[in-house]
Amino acid sequence: MACLTAPLARLGSPEAVSALYEVLLPHAGTNAQIGGAVAFAGSFSHHLGVLAAATRRWDEAEHHFATAAAMHARMGAAVHLAHTRVEWAAMLAARDLPGLRERCDALLESAGAQATGLRLPALSRRIADLRGAALRRETSS
């Protein structure tokens, strides 16, 4: 179910996103595994943060991303931590509040360093896209 998070958050209806959120919510604070422990899919809190952000539940998204980032850092799951930081930054950018821009920039900075160090070109492109969108918003304001 966790694997449905990203595509559903981007393409699904708000009702479908909310339904998946409710299904995954009991697993908050635990890790998602695929195939009984064959693959690690990150913290369920990451996936819940993505879904909460997609339905503009900002406070819930903030809580889930903070939980996921702490879990990933504690476990040394650097790739998942970088992805969580990017999704967290995207959520902050979507809110487009002046006080959140610095936090968004800091998350993108740390995620960018991780993406470069871990050689994650797709994540680096996503970071560049988020930075570009932020720059366009600043220049049009």
Each residue's pLDDT tens digit, 82-127: 999 999 999 999 997 878 888 999 999 999 999 999 999 999 999 9
Q: How many CB atoms lie within 10 A of CB 20?
A: 22
- Of 56-60, 110-114, 129-133, where does mean pLDDT reach its minimum? 129-133
- pTM here is 0.91
Dihedral sign for Cα atoms in the order 30, 34, 36, 37: negative
pLDDT 10s digits, 10-46? 998 999 999 999 999 999 999 988 776 677 888 999 9
Q: What is the pLDDT of residue 1?
A: 83
Q: Which domains does the chain carry?
A: 2-140 (1.25.40)
- Alpha-carbon separation of residue 74 from 80, 117, 133 (angstroms): 11, 19, 31
